[in-house]
Structure 1
């Protein structure tokens, strides 16, 4: 896989330009004041300062706690550094949060069309979304607000972006959403979204729906040496993405994910050297509709410990896009445990998918679901499991088959792979 070019030239170029350093507190921001009035004033000051930055400038949030109102926005930043040395706590006043004329909330912090921008910290800065108020009571909060909740950090149409040393805490909705990017490196960052401090995804925790970790689209993305503990996709590669590498990531949530993908092509994606402790799902690729292609994908050197749901899922998206939680869009999250719940294969293509050196330890459910489309020219082609090994797998619900496996045109199991999906050609070393 062609890796990203080093972003070191970007850093060197920023230090070589005549620069002004803007200190948030020295500009008049109030620290350690959680009043709504201060949140509005601090937020307005951020927007004003972002609009004044020019090439070579640095905007520093010093190592203190600043309460801010969301709806922060910057357009067309170029060749600047933003250093979150302290903590930004976003308001949880839902009624006061800025909205458009349709009542849709604005993101907490969004950067449109940035180029050669570094988001960093001298230590480990924090962006705190205070998501608990937005999540509401388990289950009830989602039915009330559904997905009308603010994303924490968003970059749109960026080029040559570096994000490092930042802690993204309790986002109300998607945590990190960088889309249509051309050149992105994320390193030494952490994401956490929890209702409780338990070392597992309880039924209460998992109702912090849509708290995605690193969601990305575009080209040439490298995310490495990061952590995620959340209640949705830990990483989500979305539509029309190519040339992405995710490595040395500790993740626990609803999977190292590609999807959900519609009628677009996603290719040349690699996950490697990742550890998933007490995760919900493990490896997860999904289509939400027809006409899409996911190809040239590698999952390598992945350890999945005690998954509470599917360790491996390659197939349709298991989700509901409505307040009917068991609706199938296209596969119900209630399937197969709830009677009459449906799981419908998507007429899209999987091609050249490699799982290599995957270890799954324990788990509450069968090894997985491999479900391709059944229309001519769709389905799954060249799916390879090489040393995909389960230790003490559950037989629930697929019994001795271990996998739900259908719609596979060509699938091969190699090396020490066990158990072998029943619709694969068994070429394993049985000795």
Structure 2
């Protein structure tokens, strides 16, 4: 009998051990599958890469406290070796990754996991000071230099900054306080700035609380900014969303922006410096944008436009609780031009002005600007728009002796707020036409029959940037 009991106990123990082993094997299998799944995923990009690495492989620590500036620099320095061998990608895994400014390399992808947060360092020593932009002559906040952007690159080819809606947090409150108090030594950093580069993609990220501008491609070509969410307090100073600056062939699409300044600000240099540099922004597409900016514009052209702005096409825009829908800002001394601007299918809700063009936006980098340098504003087209709860339809104010010409507004209905301005169209020093616009425009925009209003047509030719295609790429750990 005793031997039978012993045998049964032994059998039970064996069964328990066997079950434990099976559970362990199954658990390990699940964990292994989870690990493999977390280390392999797909995303769309203009280029795929042959080599990959994770920030953790270079000493990165995602605790929100440890500085990762050296880890980013070491990782990118190492991965730059593969530029001619299929390129490389750096994976930022889940965690809070505190970092100062770091530079990118060519044929490179920076990918943020959906649970990854880049935290911008608040230690000024982590932000190198660089020269002011040559087309500006000085920093925007102060004379002299400027802090390098959090993610920075210059003279690059084929760069992708993307993610699964990972977050870049500029922790801008410190910088905003210093700006308001006049305590800045140099111009505040941006979150992303790419200079003198080509074939750039910035996509599928959330950018919050930038110290100043969020995305700034400058002196670059073939740029896609896509699927970006930008959030900042509406009272934060100069937190512009996306600012294409002296760029050719840029596409901005499917973005959501809440900011303390213009949601999209198109630029090309400041007064005599921009005139001398002479590099316009042209062939720009803006589409499927939603914007909230109570104190600024949804789309602004200028005020720094001295190198010129030409061929801007904006469509399918939603503006909510913003100061103005489309605003052109310039001044005596700017020189340059804004011409061939086309906007259609814009919906505006709760606006101060639907349209605003001003020739008296008179901030200057210094007193050496040429007072005879007058801007040329011509062929500005708005059509197929609706607006509601608007205080004033339009302020269209050219420059005496330098009228803004070729303004065309067609098929636009503006419903006014309960307490609108008595004067709905304030027009000076402009010429143009209108058709099917409510409330009735000023006399300087006489009504024409729709059949005759061909100037408001939206171009139907494709720009080269529309031919930039994306492909499905993948990340897999331990390629190196």
Which range, TM-score by smaller chain? 0.7 to 0.9
Structure 1 length-normalised TM: 0.78
Quick check: 1:284–1:314 contact (8 Å CA) kept in 2? Answer: yes
8 Å contact 2:287–2:317 — kept in the other structure? yes
Q: Decide whether the 8 Å contact of 1:43 with 1:69 is kept in 2.
A: no
Change (3 A) 1:359 1:319: farther
Q: Given the superposition, is the C-alpha separation of residues 301 and 13 from structure 1 closer, same or farther in structure 2, using an over 3 Å criterion?
A: closer
CA distance in 2, matches of 1:112, 1:166: 21
Q: Would you say 1:213 and 2:241 are equivalent positions?
A: yes
Counterpart Cα distance in 1 of 2:427 and 2:419:
14
**Of 291, 294, 301, the match for 2:335:** 291
1:426 and 2:447 correspond: yes
State the match for 2:260 in structure 1. 231
2:438 to 398, 409, 417: 417
Give the one of 35, 43, 60 matched to 1:29.
60
Residue 61 of structure 2 aligns to a residue in which SS? coil
Match of 2:89 among 34, 58, 64: 58
Give the paired residue count.
Answer: 374
Higher RCO (CA < 8 A, seq sep 6+): 2
- CA deviations over 1:289-318 (Å, ceiling 9, x no partner): 3432111111111111112x4331112264
Distance 1:317 1:31, change over 3 A: farther
Say if 2:46 and 2:201, in contact at 8 Å, map to a contact too: no
What RMSD in Å do the two structures reach over aligned CA positions?
A: 3.0
Q: Distance in 1 between matches of 2:180 and 2:329?
A: 27
With over 3 angstroms needed to count, the CA separation of the structure-2 counterparts of 1:290 and 1:111, relative to structure 1, is closer
Q: Residue in 2 aligned with 1:354?
A: 381
Q: Considering fraction of residues, name the structure with more helix.
A: 2
3-state SS of paired residue (1:302): strand
Unaligned runs of 5+ in 2: 1-43, 132-143, 269-279, 451-480
Change (3 A) 1:116 1:245: same
Are 2:419 and 1:390 aligned? Answer: no
CA positional deviation for 1:104: 3.8
Q: Deviations over 1:12-44 (max 9, x none)?
A: 7535xxx22111012210111414xx3444454
Instruction: Report the secondary structure of 1:25's partner residue.
Output: helix
1:248-263 alignment, distance < 5 Å: 248-253=288-293, 254-255=296-297, 256-263=299-306
Distance in 1 (CA, whole Å) between partners of 2:58 and 2:165 is 22
Task: Please state whether the residue corresponding to 2:183 is helix, strand or coil.
Answer: helix
Cα distance in 2 between the residues matched to 1:295 and 1:352: 5
Which residue of 164, 168, 173 maps to 1:132? 173
What is the CA-CA distance between 1:73 and the residue it aligns to? 1.7
Q: Does residue 278 in structure 1 map to residue 325 in structure 2?
A: no
Quick check: which has more Rg, 1 or 2? 2
The residue that corresponds to 2:48 in the other structure is 14
**Correspondence for 1:68:** 99
Structure 1 residue 369 and structure 2 residue 395: aligned? Answer: yes
> In structure 1, what is the equivalent of residue 111 of structure 2?
83
Equivalent of 1:306, from 350, 355, 363? 350
> 1:169-214: per-residue Cα shift (whole Å, max 9, x none)?
11101110001221111211111111xxxxxx4xxx2xx2211111
Residue pair 1:316, 1:346 contacting (<8 A) in 2 also: no
Q: Note if 1:173 corresponds to 2:191.
A: no
Superposition deviation, residue 159 in structure 1: 1.1
Match of 2:429 among 400, 404, 407: 407
Secondary structure of 2:63's match? coil
1:51, CA displacement in angstroms?
4.4
Per the normalisation by structure 2, the TM-score is: 0.71
Contact 2:427–2:444 under 8 Å retained in 1: yes
CA separation of 1:386 and 1:111: change in aligned 2, threshold 3 A: same
Q: Identify if the C-alpha distance between structure 1 residues 183 and 100 changes in structure 2 by more than 3 Å, giving closer, same or farther.
A: closer
**Helix, strand or coil at the partner of 1:366:** strand
Gaps of 5+ in 1: 1-9, 195-200, 323-328, 331-343
- Residue-by-residue CA offset, 1:262-296 (whole Å, 9 max, x unaligned): 43331110111010111132211112434321111
In 1, Cα distance between equivalents of 2:304 and 2:418? 29
Mapped contact 2:404–2:429 kept (Cα < 8 A): yes
